[in-house]
Amino acid sequence: MAKEIQIKNKKKISRDHWTAIAFLIPSFILILVFVYGFIGWTGYVSLSNYNTIVPDFSFAGLKNYLYLFKDFRFQADLRNTLFFTVLFIALVIVLGLGLSILIDQKLKGESIFRNIFLFPMALSFIVTGVVWQWLLNPSTGFNHFLKFFGITPKWYTDTNIIGGFQWGSIEFGLPVAIIAVVIAAVWQMTGFSLAMYLAGLRGIDESMREAARMDGASEFQIYRKIILPMLMPITMSVVIIMAHISLKIFDLIYAMTGSGANFVTDVPGVYMFETTFRGNYYANGAAIAIIMLLLVAVFIVPYLWSSRKGDNS
Protein backbone atom coordinates (compact mmCIF):
# COMPACT_ATOMS: atom_id res chain seq x y z
CA MET A 1 0.00 0.00 0.00
CA ALA A 2 2.83 2.32 0.90
CA LYS A 3 4.30 1.59 -2.49
CA GLU A 4 1.08 2.61 -4.19
CA ILE A 5 1.11 5.96 -2.43
CA GLN A 6 4.72 6.43 -3.36
CA ILE A 7 3.95 5.88 -7.00
CA LYS A 8 1.00 8.23 -6.83
CA ASN A 9 3.15 10.90 -5.21
CA LYS A 10 6.16 10.36 -7.37
CA LYS A 11 5.32 13.05 -9.88
CA LYS A 12 4.59 15.58 -7.16
CA ILE A 13 7.73 14.71 -5.22
CA SER A 14 9.91 15.27 -8.22
CA ARG A 15 8.21 18.61 -8.83
CA ASP A 16 8.86 19.41 -5.18
CA HIS A 17 12.48 18.52 -5.69
CA TRP A 18 12.70 21.09 -8.44
CA THR A 19 11.15 23.66 -6.14
CA ALA A 20 13.75 22.72 -3.54
CA ILE A 21 16.55 23.28 -6.00
CA ALA A 22 15.00 26.58 -7.04
CA PHE A 23 14.98 27.56 -3.37
CA LEU A 24 18.69 26.99 -3.15
CA ILE A 25 19.76 28.44 -6.49
CA PRO A 26 19.80 32.18 -5.58
CA SER A 27 22.12 31.63 -2.63
CA PHE A 28 24.29 29.25 -4.57
CA ILE A 29 24.71 31.71 -7.42
CA LEU A 30 25.50 34.51 -4.96
CA ILE A 31 28.22 32.35 -3.42
CA LEU A 32 29.60 31.30 -6.80
CA VAL A 33 29.86 34.92 -7.93
CA PHE A 34 30.79 36.71 -4.74
CA VAL A 35 33.11 34.09 -3.28
CA TYR A 36 34.61 32.11 -6.14
CA GLY A 37 34.19 34.64 -8.93
CA PHE A 38 35.61 37.45 -6.82
CA ILE A 39 38.53 35.32 -5.65
CA GLY A 40 39.28 34.66 -9.31
CA TRP A 41 39.06 38.38 -9.99
CA THR A 42 41.41 39.13 -7.11
CA GLY A 43 43.80 36.51 -8.47
CA TYR A 44 43.63 38.27 -11.83
CA VAL A 45 44.37 41.66 -10.22
CA SER A 46 47.29 40.11 -8.36
CA LEU A 47 48.86 39.18 -11.69
CA SER A 48 48.44 42.67 -13.16
CA ASN A 49 50.27 45.99 -13.02
CA TYR A 50 47.39 47.68 -11.16
CA ASN A 51 49.60 49.46 -8.63
CA THR A 52 48.22 52.84 -9.57
CA ILE A 53 45.12 54.92 -8.98
CA VAL A 54 44.05 54.39 -12.59
CA PRO A 55 43.24 50.72 -13.24
CA ASP A 56 45.88 48.99 -15.30
CA PHE A 57 45.14 45.33 -15.94
CA SER A 58 48.15 44.61 -18.15
CA PHE A 59 49.69 41.24 -17.34
CA ALA A 60 52.59 41.36 -14.90
CA GLY A 61 53.09 37.66 -14.27
CA LEU A 62 54.26 36.84 -10.76
CA LYS A 63 55.99 40.20 -10.36
CA ASN A 64 53.87 41.26 -7.36
CA TYR A 65 54.39 37.95 -5.57
CA LEU A 66 58.13 38.04 -6.15
CA TYR A 67 58.18 41.59 -4.86
CA LEU A 68 56.35 40.58 -1.69
CA PHE A 69 58.58 37.65 -0.86
CA LYS A 70 61.60 39.95 -1.10
CA ASP A 71 59.87 42.73 0.80
CA PHE A 72 61.08 43.40 4.36
CA ARG A 73 57.58 44.21 5.56
CA PHE A 74 55.97 41.10 4.11
CA GLN A 75 58.70 38.84 5.46
CA ALA A 76 58.15 40.40 8.86
CA ASP A 77 54.38 39.79 8.44
CA LEU A 78 54.90 36.10 7.76
CA ARG A 79 57.17 35.80 10.77
CA ASN A 80 54.70 37.63 13.00
CA THR A 81 51.77 35.56 11.73
CA LEU A 82 53.64 32.34 12.43
CA PHE A 83 54.48 33.25 16.02
CA PHE A 84 51.14 34.88 16.66
CA THR A 85 49.27 31.80 15.39
CA VAL A 86 51.30 29.29 17.37
CA LEU A 87 51.18 31.21 20.66
CA PHE A 88 47.55 32.19 20.24
CA ILE A 89 46.31 28.67 19.52
CA ALA A 90 48.43 27.09 22.25
CA LEU A 91 47.21 29.52 24.90
CA VAL A 92 43.56 29.40 23.82
CA ILE A 93 43.63 25.61 24.03
CA VAL A 94 45.51 25.33 27.32
CA LEU A 95 43.42 28.00 29.04
CA GLY A 96 40.12 26.87 27.53
CA LEU A 97 40.75 23.25 28.45
CA GLY A 98 42.06 24.02 31.93
CA LEU A 99 39.25 26.37 32.83
CA SER A 100 36.58 24.10 31.36
CA ILE A 101 37.86 21.17 33.43
CA LEU A 102 37.74 23.35 36.56
CA ILE A 103 34.24 24.56 35.75
CA ASP A 104 33.12 20.99 35.12
CA GLN A 105 33.95 19.99 38.74
CA LYS A 106 30.39 20.62 39.90
CA LEU A 107 31.44 23.62 41.94
CA LYS A 108 28.91 26.16 43.13
CA GLY A 109 28.68 29.23 40.93
CA GLU A 110 30.01 27.50 37.85
CA SER A 111 27.66 29.43 35.60
CA ILE A 112 29.05 32.74 36.91
CA PHE A 113 32.58 31.71 36.00
CA ARG A 114 31.47 30.41 32.64
CA ASN A 115 29.73 33.69 31.85
CA ILE A 116 32.78 35.73 32.88
CA PHE A 117 35.15 33.77 30.68
CA LEU A 118 32.77 33.83 27.74
CA PHE A 119 31.65 37.45 27.64
CA PRO A 120 34.64 38.84 25.68
CA MET A 121 33.45 36.68 22.77
CA ALA A 122 30.52 39.07 22.42
CA LEU A 123 32.82 42.06 21.98
CA SER A 124 34.34 43.47 18.85
CA PHE A 125 38.05 43.12 18.20
CA ILE A 126 38.01 46.91 17.93
CA VAL A 127 36.76 47.31 21.49
CA THR A 128 39.32 44.78 22.68
CA GLY A 129 42.06 46.61 20.83
CA VAL A 130 41.11 50.01 22.23
CA VAL A 131 41.04 48.73 25.82
CA TRP A 132 44.15 46.56 25.71
CA GLN A 133 46.10 49.32 24.06
CA TRP A 134 45.77 51.11 27.40
CA LEU A 135 46.14 48.08 29.65
CA LEU A 136 49.44 47.14 28.03
CA ASN A 137 50.67 50.68 27.64
CA PRO A 138 54.22 50.53 29.05
CA SER A 139 54.00 53.74 31.06
CA THR A 140 50.72 52.85 32.77
CA GLY A 141 48.43 49.83 32.56
CA PHE A 142 49.56 46.60 34.17
CA ASN A 143 53.07 47.97 34.54
CA HIS A 144 51.66 50.14 37.31
CA PHE A 145 51.57 46.96 39.44
CA LEU A 146 54.38 45.04 37.82
CA LYS A 147 56.90 47.76 38.64
CA PHE A 148 56.65 46.80 42.33
CA PHE A 149 58.17 43.49 41.32
CA GLY A 150 60.81 45.27 39.30
CA ILE A 151 59.39 44.13 35.97
CA THR A 152 58.42 46.73 33.43
CA PRO A 153 57.91 45.04 30.08
CA LYS A 154 57.68 47.36 27.11
CA TRP A 155 54.84 45.24 25.70
CA TYR A 156 53.87 46.17 22.17
CA THR A 157 56.44 48.95 21.96
CA ASP A 158 59.31 46.48 22.39
CA THR A 159 61.25 46.02 19.15
CA ASN A 160 63.37 43.09 20.34
CA ILE A 161 63.22 39.75 18.58
CA ILE A 162 63.77 36.78 20.91
CA GLY A 163 66.21 34.26 19.48
CA GLY A 164 66.57 36.39 16.41
CA PHE A 165 68.87 35.55 13.53
CA GLN A 166 69.19 37.04 10.07
CA TRP A 167 66.97 35.27 7.54
CA GLY A 168 66.15 36.90 4.24
CA SER A 169 65.96 40.60 4.92
CA ILE A 170 64.49 40.24 8.42
CA GLU A 171 65.55 39.11 11.84
CA PHE A 172 63.70 35.85 12.34
CA GLY A 173 62.58 35.01 15.85
CA LEU A 174 59.76 35.75 18.27
CA PRO A 175 58.98 39.49 18.30
CA VAL A 176 58.35 40.49 21.93
CA ALA A 177 55.67 42.95 20.87
CA ILE A 178 53.60 40.11 19.40
CA ILE A 179 53.15 38.69 22.90
CA ALA A 180 51.12 41.75 23.89
CA VAL A 181 48.77 41.27 20.96
CA VAL A 182 48.49 37.57 21.72
CA ILE A 183 47.41 38.37 25.29
CA ALA A 184 44.57 40.56 24.03
CA ALA A 185 43.49 37.99 21.44
CA VAL A 186 43.59 35.17 24.00
CA TRP A 187 41.49 37.24 26.39
CA GLN A 188 38.89 37.59 23.70
CA MET A 189 38.87 34.08 22.22
CA THR A 190 39.46 31.72 25.16
CA GLY A 191 35.70 31.65 25.64
CA PHE A 192 35.35 29.84 22.35
CA SER A 193 37.53 26.88 23.24
CA LEU A 194 36.11 26.90 26.76
CA ALA A 195 32.56 26.57 25.44
CA MET A 196 33.59 23.85 23.02
CA TYR A 197 35.43 21.82 25.66
CA LEU A 198 32.66 22.28 28.18
CA ALA A 199 30.14 20.92 25.69
CA GLY A 200 32.49 18.01 25.06
CA LEU A 201 32.98 17.29 28.76
CA ARG A 202 29.23 17.38 29.36
CA GLY A 203 28.83 14.84 26.60
CA ILE A 204 31.11 12.29 28.25
CA ASP A 205 29.18 9.62 30.05
CA GLU A 206 29.73 9.67 33.80
CA SER A 207 29.73 5.87 33.82
CA MET A 208 33.05 5.86 31.96
CA ARG A 209 34.70 7.85 34.75
CA GLU A 210 33.03 5.61 37.31
CA ALA A 211 34.37 2.49 35.63
CA ALA A 212 37.88 3.95 35.51
CA ARG A 213 37.66 4.89 39.19
CA MET A 214 36.59 1.36 40.03
CA ASP A 215 39.71 0.14 38.25
CA GLY A 216 41.73 2.34 40.60
CA ALA A 217 42.61 5.13 38.19
CA SER A 218 43.39 8.51 39.78
CA GLU A 219 41.52 11.63 38.66
CA PHE A 220 44.63 12.80 36.83
CA GLN A 221 44.92 9.47 35.00
CA ILE A 222 41.26 9.58 34.07
CA TYR A 223 41.76 12.94 32.39
CA ARG A 224 45.01 11.97 30.71
CA LYS A 225 44.04 8.53 29.52
CA ILE A 226 40.31 8.80 28.90
CA ILE A 227 38.95 12.34 28.77
CA LEU A 228 41.66 14.07 26.75
CA PRO A 229 41.69 11.47 23.97
CA MET A 230 37.90 11.73 23.79
CA LEU A 231 38.18 15.51 23.41
CA MET A 232 40.62 15.16 20.51
CA PRO A 233 38.07 15.95 17.76
CA ILE A 234 37.13 19.13 19.65
CA THR A 235 40.77 20.12 19.91
CA MET A 236 41.09 19.63 16.15
CA SER A 237 38.10 21.89 15.50
CA VAL A 238 39.41 24.54 17.88
CA VAL A 239 42.86 24.48 16.27
CA ILE A 240 41.44 24.89 12.80
CA ILE A 241 38.95 27.60 13.67
CA MET A 242 41.51 29.56 15.71
CA ALA A 243 44.12 29.11 12.98
CA HIS A 244 41.89 30.63 10.35
CA ILE A 245 40.97 33.52 12.64
CA SER A 246 44.59 34.18 13.39
CA LEU A 247 45.75 33.96 9.77
CA LYS A 248 43.26 36.58 8.66
CA ILE A 249 43.42 38.80 11.73
CA PHE A 250 43.24 42.50 11.01
CA ASP A 251 40.96 44.59 13.24
CA LEU A 252 42.52 43.75 16.60
CA ILE A 253 46.00 44.68 15.48
CA TYR A 254 44.84 47.68 13.49
CA ALA A 255 43.04 49.08 16.56
CA MET A 256 45.58 48.10 19.19
CA THR A 257 49.06 48.65 17.82
CA GLY A 258 49.09 49.13 14.06
CA SER A 259 52.22 47.95 12.26
CA GLY A 260 54.56 48.88 15.09
CA ALA A 261 58.14 50.09 14.85
CA ASN A 262 60.08 47.90 12.39
CA PHE A 263 56.76 46.14 11.65
CA VAL A 264 57.05 44.06 14.84
CA THR A 265 53.27 43.75 15.11
CA ASP A 266 52.37 43.97 11.43
CA VAL A 267 50.36 41.15 9.82
CA PRO A 268 49.29 40.46 6.22
CA GLY A 269 45.77 41.72 6.94
CA VAL A 270 47.05 45.14 7.99
CA TYR A 271 49.58 45.33 5.16
CA MET A 272 46.91 44.41 2.61
CA PHE A 273 44.55 47.08 3.92
CA GLU A 274 47.15 49.84 4.00
CA THR A 275 48.84 49.11 0.71
CA THR A 276 45.54 48.71 -1.16
CA PHE A 277 43.32 51.35 0.35
CA ARG A 278 45.84 53.89 1.60
CA GLY A 279 48.55 53.40 -1.01
CA ASN A 280 46.57 52.38 -4.12
CA TYR A 281 48.85 49.38 -4.71
CA TYR A 282 45.91 47.23 -5.76
CA ALA A 283 47.92 44.46 -7.40
CA ASN A 284 50.22 44.10 -4.40
CA GLY A 285 47.23 44.10 -2.08
CA ALA A 286 45.52 41.46 -4.19
CA ALA A 287 48.66 39.31 -4.07
CA ILE A 288 48.74 39.55 -0.27
CA ALA A 289 45.06 38.60 -0.15
CA ILE A 290 45.64 35.55 -2.35
CA ILE A 291 48.54 34.43 -0.14
CA MET A 292 46.32 34.83 2.93
CA LEU A 293 43.63 32.77 1.23
CA LEU A 294 46.08 30.00 0.39
CA LEU A 295 47.35 29.92 3.98
CA VAL A 296 43.80 29.60 5.29
CA ALA A 297 42.92 26.99 2.65
CA VAL A 298 45.75 24.75 3.86
CA PHE A 299 43.82 24.36 7.12
CA ILE A 300 40.25 24.63 5.95
CA VAL A 301 40.05 22.48 2.83
CA PRO A 302 41.13 19.22 4.51
CA TYR A 303 38.86 20.08 7.44
CA LEU A 304 35.80 20.62 5.25
CA TRP A 305 36.67 17.56 3.22
CA SER A 306 36.93 15.31 6.25
CA SER A 307 33.71 16.59 7.85
CA ARG A 308 31.93 15.98 4.53
CA LYS A 309 33.14 12.40 4.55
CA GLY A 310 32.03 12.07 8.16
CA ASP A 311 28.57 13.33 7.19
CA ASN A 312 28.05 10.64 4.60
CA SER A 313 28.85 7.68 6.78
Partner 1 sequence: MTASHIGKLIKYLILIVFAIIFLTPVYVMIVTSLKPLDEVSLADMWTLPSAIDFSSYAHAFKNLAPNLMNSIYLVVPATLLSALLGAMNGYVLSKWKFKGSDLIFTVILFGMFIPYQSILIPMIQFLRTIDLYNTIPGLILVHVVYGLPITTLMFRNFYANIPDEMIESAKIDGASFLGVFRHIIIPLSITGFVVVAIWQFTNIWNEFLFAVTITTSDKQPVMVALQNLSGSQIVQWNVQMAGALLAALPTLLVYIFLGKYFVRGLLAGSVKG
Chain residues 293-312 in contact with partner 1, contact rule CB under 8 A? 293, 296, 300-301, 303-305, 307-308, 310-312
Residue placing its CB nearer to partner 1 in the complex, 165 or 308: 308
Going from the C-alpha of 58 to that of each of 11, 39, 286, the distances in angstroms are 54, 18, 15
Going from the C-alpha of 220 to that of each of 72, 95, 125, 197, 199, the distances in angstroms are 48, 17, 36, 17, 20
Residue placing its CB nearer to partner 1 in the complex, 155 or 192: 192
Residue placing its CB nearer to partner 1 in the complex, 162 or 297: 297
Residue placing its CB nearer to partner 1 in the complex, 51 or 172: 51
HSE-CB at 112 with a 13 A cutoff on CA atoms is 3
What is the C-alpha to C-alpha distance for residues 269 and 253, in angstroms, rounded to an integer?
9
Q: Site for partner 1 (CB under 8 A): which residue of 103, 174, 222, 227?
A: 103
What is the C-alpha to C-alpha distance for residues 256 and 130, in angstroms, rounded to an integer?
6
Contact indicator for 239, 295 with CB cutoff of 8 Å: no
Among 65-73, 74-82, 202-210, 287-295, which window interacts with partner 1 (CB under 8 A)?
Answer: 287-295
Q: What would you measure as the largest C-alpha separation in the chain, in angstroms?
A: 85
Q: Site for partner 1 (CB under 8 A): which residue of 10, 28, 70, 224?
A: 28
Residue placing its CB nearer to partner 1 in the complex, 53 or 107: 107
Termini Cα distance of the chain: 31
Q: Site for partner 1 (CB under 8 A): which residue of 54, 58, 59, 139?
A: 139
- x/- mask, partner 1, residues 169-208, rule CB under 8 A, reads ------------------x---xx--xx--x---------
Q: Site for partner 1 (CB under 8 A): which residue of 82, 90, 127, 217?
A: 127
Minimum CB distance to partner 1, residue 42 (Å): 5
4 near partner 1, rule: CB under 8 A: no
Chain residues 266-285 in contact with partner 1, contact rule CB under 8 A? 268-269, 272-273, 276-277, 282, 285
7 near partner 1, rule: CB under 8 A: no
Minimum CB distance to partner 1, residue 270 (Å): 10
What's 59-121 look like in SS3?
ECCCHHHHHHHHCHHHHHHHHHHHHHHHHHHHHHHHHHHHHHHHHCCCCCCHHHHHHHHHHHH
Chain residues 33-92 in contact with partner 1, contact rule CB under 8 A? 34-39, 41-42, 45
What is the C-alpha to C-alpha distance for residues 76 and 72, in angstroms, rounded to an integer?
6
Minimum CB distance to partner 1, residue 71 (Å): 17
Chain residues 227-266 in contact with partner 1, contact rule CB under 8 A? 233, 237-238, 241, 244, 247-248, 250-251, 254-255
Cβ neighbours for 138, distance < 8 A, ≥ 6 positions apart: 152, 153, 154, 155, 157
Single-letter code of the amino acid located at 257 = T
Single-letter code of the amino acid located at 45 = V
Helices (H) and strands (E) in the chain, counts: 15, 2
130 near partner 1, rule: CB under 8 A: yes
